[in-house]
Amino acid sequence: MKVTADHDACIGSGQCVPLAPDVFDQDDDGIVILKRTELEESDVTGVKAAVRICPARALTIQEGPK
């Protein structure tokens, strides 16, 4: 499972960071930084919540090959 971020859509709210701190960070403009894109099992719930809670809807999860 992979996560991608649309950096143009990101508004720097930082809502994703506390939900999955191992995956998300912010740069000096507040824009999302992906610390990793291939998700570990332990990341999945937090990242799914971040995808929905992101007020700019800038995050997407892509299901990997089964």
Partner 1 sequence: MASPVRRVAIIGAGAAGLTTAEALRDLGFVGTIVLIGGERHVPYDRPPLSKQILAGRWEPQQSYLRTHESYDELGIELRLSTTAVAIDSTLRCVMLSDGDSINYDALVIATGSRARVLADMPDDDRVHHFRTVDDAVALRLQLQGQPRTLILGAGVLGLELAATIRELGSQVHVIDPLPSPMLRQFGPTIGDPLVQLHAEHGVDLTLGVDVQQVVHGRDGAIQINLIDGTSRTGELLVVAVGSKPNIEWLAGSGLPTADGVLTDGDGRVQDNVFAVGDVAARFDMDAQRHVRSESRTAAGEHGWAAAAAIMNLPAPPPPSRYFWTDQYSTKIQGVGRFTSDTNLDVVDGDLHSGRFVATCSLNGRLRGVVGWNLPRPFAKWRAKLTSETPSSPKTVTTV
Q: Which of 8, 29, 41, 63 binds partner 1 (CB under 8 A)?
A: 29
To the nearest 10°, the Cα dihedral for 60, 37, 27, 31?
A: -10
Q: Which of 19, 20, 23, 59 binds partner 1 (CB under 8 A)?
A: 19
Q: Name the minimum Å distance from CB 58 to partner 1.
A: 12
Nearer to partner 1, 36 or 57 (CB): 57
Q: Does 13 bind partner 1 (CB under 8 A)?
A: yes
Long-range contacts from 39-43, C-beta under 8 angstroms, 24+ separation: 39/1, 39/2, 39/3
